[in-house]
Structure 1
C-alpha cells in the first residue's frame, strides 16, 4: 500500500544550546530533580505528541495508524531485548557491574532485536508497512542504547543532565521526522530522520555525559573489571530476566487494544485511538518524572536502612499523584472536546467518550508508577512477572469481548481494567515489603 501523503505547507526553525558541559557528580535535591525530570518528560512527551500531530495534519488517519502499528510491533521486541537493565542499573547501589558492562549487553541485544523485528515485519505485513516497522525499530534501538547512558545519570541523581538528553532527543526526532516528510512526502523518510536524530543524540551528548559521570565517581562505581567479562555479562542478563519479562508484558499490555482494533475495526479507527492515547500518554510520561526521581532516592534510603524516611517519602508522593490524577479527569471532562477539536480536528473531537475513559485509565496509572518504583527499589523483581501476566490476560479477554461489540470505548475499558489489576496486585506486594521492613 502507498504511504505517500498530501502535504500542507509549513515552515519553521528552532535552535537550542544543549551541548554537554562539565558534569559534577554531586546529587541534586529531590525538588530540583523532580523539576528537571518533569521538564524533560513534558518536553519529550510534547515532541512525541507533536509527531502524531504532524502525521495527522500532513497525512491521514491511515498514516497515523501505520506509525502506531510500527510502534506496537517494534516496542515489545525492543523492551524484551532491553532486559530492563535501566532499572537494575539504577538500583545497583553496590555497583556490582560496570557501566561498560551494562552498555555492552544493551548493544548486543539491540542488534538481535532489529533482526527479530525485521523477521516479524516482513513475515506478517506488506513491504511498505514492513519497512516502516523496521525503521521504527532501528530508531527505538538507538534510543535504548541512550537509555543506559541516562541510567548512569539517574543513578548519580543528576536528572538535570538526563532531562537535557530527553529534550535534545525529542526536539531532534520531531525535526527529523518533519523534515523527512516535508522533503519527500513519505513516512519512510520521516522515520529515517528520527533515526538520524537518535544517533546524533547518542554520539554527541549521551555517551560523553555518561562517561564523564562514570569517571568522576569512586573506583567502586566504575565496576569490577573491563567491558568483556562473559560470565558477569551472562549473570547480569539472567538476574534481570524476571524484570525483563514483566516489562515486556507491560508493553504488550499497552498494545493489546491496538492489536484487537486492527483485527476487528479499521486502520483509520486505530489512528483515532492512537491520537487520543498520545494525549493521555503525555500525562503518564509526566508521572514517570516523579518515578525516575524517586527510584534512586528510595533505593538509597533502603540501602542506608532509613525505612521511616522511605515510607514517608512514598506516602507523600502517592497522595500527590492520586489527587493530581483526579484533577486531570475533571479537566478532561470540562475542556476535552474543545481541546481535541483544536489539536486534531472535528473527527477526533467526536470521540470524547473514548477520551474520558482513557483519561480515567491515566489517573489509575499514576499510583501504579510509584508503587512500581517502590517495589523496584526493594529489588522485588521476580514477583512482577506474574502480576503483569494476570493483567495481560485480563486485558486480552476484555478486548476480545468488548472491542467487537463496543469499538474504541471497549478498548478504553480494557485499559482501565488492566491498570486496576496492576494497582491492586502491586499494592499487595508493597504492603508485604513494608511489613518486612517493620520486622527489621
Structure 2
C-alpha cells in the first residue's frame, strides 16, 4: 500500500494575546495584500525571481481557543504543521499548559514557545512538558529571518515525519501480514508432505501447493522491490545497518548525498565510511539501542572528503521476537543551511566592528540595532538605544524631531537613500554635527 504524502502542509497557528503579534506573523510569513502579490508576481516574470512560498496563518488569542482550533483542524483532516505559542497569555492558560494540552490531541505538532521573559528557563520547560524534538524557544523581539527559517524547517520536518511514519508503517504492516501468511502456508506444506508419504495422490497435491507457494514468494519479493523503489524516490538519505553497523540498505538519496552506490557500500561499516570521528556515531547508536530512537545533528564526510552536516532521525527495528535487529536512519543534509547561518553571523560581526556608527530602524522609526561605534558616539551603553525613536539622537525638540524623521522616511520610501549633514545630540545633551547616509534596507 502506498502511503506517500504529496502536498506540503504549510498551516501555522499563532497563539498570542497581542493582536499586533498576529499581524507581525502574517506579514513575515507571507500573507500579503492584492497589490503586493501582483508586484511580487511581476518581479518574478521580469527578473526571473522565484515567487515567495506563502504560509496559511490562523490566529488565536488564548490557549483555550488555540486548542479548539487544533481539534477542529484535525476533525477536518487539515492539521496544523506547527504553532507559535506565547509563554504568557493572561487571564487564561500560559504557553506551557497550552502546549501540554495541544500535544495530548496532536502529538506531532511542532511548537515554538515565544517569550520576552527570563523567568521560564529551558530546564523548567523540559520538566513540565518533556519536549523531545518537538519544541523550540524563541526570544522576543523576533528576527524575521529566524521566524522564516523556523517556519520552513519545522513544516518540512512535520512533512518528513508524516512521510516516514506512513512509509515505514505500511512496509512493516505488509511484512508482518505476509510473514504470518507464509508461516501458516509453510505449516500446511509440512503437513501435506507427511501425508504424501502415505498417499501418492496427496504427495502430488502437496507438490502443486508448493509450486503455488513459490509463486506467492516471488510476488512478495516483487512487492518488496516496489517498496524499495518508493524509498529511492525520497530526497533524504535513507539507510539501514545491522547491530554491527554493517550496511544492509542504501537508497538513491544516500547515493546522491554521499557519493557511493548501494553495491559499493553493501556490508561495509557505516561508522568507518561516514565519520572521521566515530565517537559521536557510537553515542547516537547507543541511544537508539536503549530508547528505540535518536534525533540529532551529526558531522559526516562524503566519498570525496567534503564535510557534511546532517540531521538524523534513527529508529530501532526489531524482529518478530521483539529483539533488536537493525537501525533505520533517515538523514537530511543541512550543510548549506549551516553555511548560511555562519555567513549571517559573520555579517553581524562586521557591522559590530565597523568604525562608523550604524543604526537600523523599523518602519515606525524605532531603533532595532546600533553598533558599538554608534553607542560610543552618542554616549549610550550597549543596547540602551534599542526601542527608542530615532529622533532621540537628533538635536531637535521631541515633536519636531519626530516630524522631521517622518518627513525623512517619506523621502526614503520614494528615493531610497539620503546623504548629508545632520544636527545630532548626545545622551548628555551635547549637540554636534554628523555626516550621515541613510538608505532603505530591503528585507
Structure with a larger share of its residues in helix: 1
Q: What range describes the TM-score normalised by the shorter chain of this pair?
A: under 0.3
Structure with a larger share of its residues in strand: 2
Q: Which has the larger radius of gyration?
A: 2
Taking structure 1 as the reference length, what is the TM-score of the superposition?
0.26
